[in-house]
Amino acid sequence: MLAAILILIGYFLFRGPLKDFFRPVIPIVFLTVYVLTTAVHGFLLQTGTEDSQKFVRRFMMTSGAKMFLYLLIMVIYLFFNPEDAIIFLLSFLSFYLVFTVFEVVSILKVLKKNI
């Protein structure tokens, strides 16, 4: 649902007031953040929350790995496309923040139910 809302917002923004700022890489950034967040979120929910110490370790491990992967993607893209740096970083940061907030809120709901 969140992904569909973001796609609609992006469609109308980039067809209208932000038309000049659209880059073909923006949908790829969206898809990358969406797929990685969904995969990590699914993994965390599947591992269960019975053992809180184990869950916290897995959460920190996957969050750290995800951030490292995101950083690697950003550095590689920016190395080859420095002219798009600001637009790329702003779109990446926007998607990252939205999906991270969704992931944390969703996991907190699950943790509260299991406590």
Contact at 8 Å (CB) between 54 and 61? no
Q: Give the tens place of pLDDT for each residue, 12-44.
A: 888 889 888 889 999 999 999 999 999 999 888
Give the predicted TM-score (pTM) of the model: 0.85
**What is the average per-residue pLDDT within 65-89?**
95
Q: What is the 3-state secondary structure (H, E, C) of the chain?
A: CHHHHHHHHHHHHHHCCCHHHCCCHHHHHHHHHHHHHHHHHHHHHHHCCCCHHHHHHHHHHHHHHHHHHHHHHHHHHHHHCHHHHHHHHHHHHHHHHHHHHHHHHHHHHHHHHHC
Helix 85-114 with 25-47: angle, nearest 10 deg: 20
Cα angle, residue 110 at apex, residues 46 and 9 outer, rounded to 5°: 90
Token pair 């926007």 is at which residue?
94
Whether the pLDDT of residue 115 is over 70: the answer is no
